[in-house]
Amino acid sequence: MSSPGCHVEVMTSGDCGRNVADMLGTPPVTSPLRGLVQRLQDWPVASQQQARRNAMVAATACAQRRAERDDVADYLHARTAPAAPDDAAGTGPARAADIRTSGA
């Protein structure tokens, strides 16, 4: 059930191109410095957002480097691990410490 007599048209099709100041009858603010003032007001927010983006990029790069460093450390540790107990003859992979101390 509807009540067509209770509904009022708020905007007509001709109002779509008009701004609120025109519809209210107030003069629009026109100032040559308005653009500059707006940029100065927006600067702290834009600066903070850029700083956050930079911090995220830096944190990502640090995490990638840390993961690579851990991978290299794991690889080197696996390569320089002591020989297995059943390899008493010492024919396993040479340990980096043995190579450095032998002068080779």
27-31, 59-63, 80-84, range with the lowest pLDDT: 27-31
Q: Is the pLDDT of residue 58 over 80?
A: yes
Which string of DSSP letters, residue by residue, matches 17-61? G--HHHHHTPPP---TTHHHHHHHHHHHHHHHHHHHHHHHHHHHH
Q: In whole angstroms, give the CA distance from residue 97 to residue 43.
A: 57
Confidence at residue 35, expressed as pLDDT on a 0 to 100 scale: 86
Structural contact between residues 78 and 84, judged by C-beta atoms closer than 8 angstroms: no
Within the chain, how many helices (H) and strands (E) appear? 3, 0
The model scores a pTM over 0.75: no
Q: 3-class SS at 1?
A: coil
